[in-house]
Amino acid sequence: MSSDRKTVTVFLAVICGLLLAIVDVWFGWPLWGLPILAAVPALVAVALLARAGRRRRGVPPGLEPYLPVEPVERRSMRVSEVALPSTIEDYDFRFTATVRWCPVDGATGVPVVNPGGLAVQAVLQRARQITELRDARRSSLVQRELDGALGIMEPDASGLVLAMAEEVTLTLTEHDQARLDKLASVRKDEQVWEHERKWEQSRRAYLGDDVLKDPGSAVIWWLVKNDDHVERTVGDLGLLAQLSSAANNEDVPDRFRHLVPYPEPEPESEQAVHPGNAHVDEYTASYGSPTGEPFHEPTAGDRFEAFLRAADFKEGDPRRDLFALQVAKLVSAHGNTEVADDLEQRFRTPGEVDPEEPDPGFEN
């Protein structure tokens, strides 16, 4: 019972006592009855006060946890964009939250402190213990984990404040997020390429080491592929033999050579090896190698002699030597004396007169 209700109870008891006294005087009751009449309101007042006290103390022990708790004074501070480490080097989380704290009851002999700083330090330390073990690519998942871990009031290391965090946000910088997205895309493309490469290697090994290792294996493979169409497989025997031989860098076996649809080319001749040098083969066939050694690159004289034969200048024809000497003069006049000397040695007959020099026995 409150003090106001106690005052009202006493006041009513006094009024009742006065009313009883007036009634006693009015009816002429004996004087010894006055104390009795005055005690009755006092006893009633005492009984009411005792009953109120028992009611106040009569709360069952089982209901005490459900009684309203006195409000605790809480203070808050906003922290923004605090860098917290992750498992990936140089990729830090950006932590933003509202830190709430309250002082610990019963702390005595405490020096002057900054409770807000202690609370923020405690929250960041708890958050760092989680983020430094988490992948930076899972920022949204780690944020939900921090919501639960930091949502409980816990004392700091000094035991002076209780701290928690609300409205937690955990992100990466825009550039870091773009880099991680690009790395993830490249890594996925690399995995796809690696699988495709292994698949291609497997197919090559299957075709080279099993299917096309010899014509017989190629025929069996082709027969299975064509649903046991024997006639079609027989018609493709030559093609399969040529294909398996090419796959193994070998010639087509003689027993399949007559079935090959595309015959092997004839060996290249000397003329094909040296295109445009047909006159060289003619010179070699007519005169052979001057030293008796294998074929060598023809000289200018060799080529000119082949030209004379192609121009139908017969051996022993005086016009042949005369024409050759005239060409040698022209070549010498243009500064190529080595070729000119070779032509003169080849086509000048001993004792023959230079066609451009006058005959010494001729006189005007």
pTM over 0.85: no
Residue 34 predicted with pLDDT over 50 = yes
SS3 11: helix
pLDDT digits (tens, 9 = 90+) for 45-62: 667 666 665 555 555 555
Q: What is the mean pLDDT of residues 283-294?
A: 49
> Which CA distances in Å does 114 have to 75, 110, 119, 160, 164?
12, 11, 9, 10, 16
Residue 283's pLDDT band, with cuts at 50, 70 and 90, is: very low
Mean of pLDDT over the chain: 77
E strand segments, 85-212: 93-103, 154-155, 161-171
pLDDT digits (tens, 9 = 90+) for 242-256: 888 888 888 888 888
Instruction: Please check whether residue 88 is in contact with residue 135, taking contact to mean a CB–CB distance below 8 angstroms.
Output: yes
- Locate tokens 């014509």: which residue? 215
SS3 361: coil
Residue 13 predicted with pLDDT over 70 = no
Cα–Cα distance for residue pair 322/354, rounded to 1 Å: 9
Residue 219's pLDDT band, with cuts at 50, 70 and 90, is: confident
pLDDT digits (tens, 9 = 90+) for 169-179: 999 999 999 99
Architecture field, domain 75-105+113-177: 2-Layer Sandwich (3.30)
- Confidence (pLDDT) at 339: 78
Q: What is the mean pLDDT of residues 126-145?
A: 94
> Which CA distances in Å does 47 have to 8, 41, 52, 295?
14, 10, 9, 147
Residue 336's pLDDT band, with cuts at 50, 70 and 90, is: confident
Residue 293 predicted with pLDDT over 90 = no
- Confidence (pLDDT) at 51: 66
Higher pLDDT, 117 or 355: 117
